[in-house]
Amino acid sequence: MEIKFNESELAEVQMHIDKYPIKKSAIMPVLWMAQKKFGYISKEVMMFVGELLDLPYSHVYGVATFYTMYFKKPMGRHHVQVCTNVSCMLLKGDELFDSVSQRLGIKHNECDAEGKFSLEEVECMGACGGAPLLVINEDFYENVDIDKVNSILDSLN
């Protein structure tokens, strides 16, 4: 895919720039936009974002690699996240992660060969009252168990 934004996307970039007193501050929202469009933040994407915001590649690299939610490699269409932090672990979130990992045949931060699923063992996502938690892309599924998770995964294509 060509690393380029269309006109309406460039207008959105400008809207983000206008929110802050300096251009550099728009880097996080622009990286989010780039990830949504290009799937992950490759070296080319980082250079492109740098050009948009007049920042050196090294700076964009520094920021993009600091945050876990900017993917540095291609991830699956369905990014499956299971929390294993304390509140979820107390309600067997760690066993849930192992079972999902076994079912998908991939480990933490891996993507399957078809690019359908990727898996991440996440830290607390702020759903402790609904533990254990499964997140697929941006959707939270709270109070899940192994059966529920399996049926959710079955429903995805």
Q: Which positions lie near other proteins, rule CB under 8 A?
A: 19-22, 24-29, 31-32, 53, 55, 59, 62-63, 66-70, 84-87, 89-91, 122-131, 135, 138-140
Closer residue to other proteins, CB minimum distance, 32 or 150: 32
CB of 141 to other proteins, least distance (A): 12
As a whole number of angstroms, the distance between CA 60 and CA 56 comes to: 7
Nearer to other proteins, 65 or 151 (CB): 65
- Tokens standing for residue 152: 């959710």
Of 41 and 104, CB closest to other proteins: 41
State in angstroms the smallest separation of the CB of 127 from other proteins: 6
Residue carrying the six token digits 């891996």: 110
Question: Closest distance between other proteins and the C-beta of residue 14, in Å?
Answer: 15
From the CB of residue 67, how many other CB atoms can be counted at a distance below 10 Å?
A: 10
- Cβ nearer to other proteins, comparing 53 with 106: 53
Per-residue CA distances from 106 to 103, 115, 137 (Å): 8, 11, 17
